[in-house]
Amino acid sequence: EIQLQQSGPELMKPGASVKISCKASGYSFTSYYMHWVKQSHGKSLEWIGYIDPFNGGTRYNQKFKGKATLTVDKSSSTAYMHLSSLTSEDSAVYSCALLILGGLAHWGQGTLVTVSA
């Protein structure tokens, strides 16, 4: 069974950075691109980008370039997303997900990031 287990909630100060993890299991980690999605409270979904775990290649939504950095550790089948220079606009739930058959078929449980002074 494919599972994506994300790290726990984060409470951060404005200007700080945070790194969220997504540990994959139940499949070959390098078989699927890992996507990341943002959902602000009560709002819709925004695609941040993806990383190819095989070679580390990335593609970002222009809106998140400079804000999000995606990396992987193949040895632990874990994907990471680093968010920098946090503001209140970055407060949201961030999820990792696998694109299979044209849809995001498997999702992590989401990580709540709260940015507050």
Footprint of other proteins (CB under 8 A): 35, 44-47, 49, 59, 61-63, 95, 97, 99, 101-105, 107-110
Nearer to other proteins, 59 or 82 (CB): 59
Nearer to other proteins, 101 or 117 (CB): 101
Nearer to other proteins, 53 or 110 (CB): 110
The nearest distance, CB 33 to other proteins, in angstroms, is 11
The nearest distance, CB 97 to other proteins, in angstroms, is 8
Nearer to other proteins, 53 or 108 (CB): 108
Nearest to 29 by CA among 76, 82, 70, 81: 76
The nearest distance, CB 45 to other proteins, in angstroms, is 4
The nearest distance, CB 91 to other proteins, in angstroms, is 17
Q: What is the DSSP string of 77-92?
A: TEEEEEE-S--GGG-E
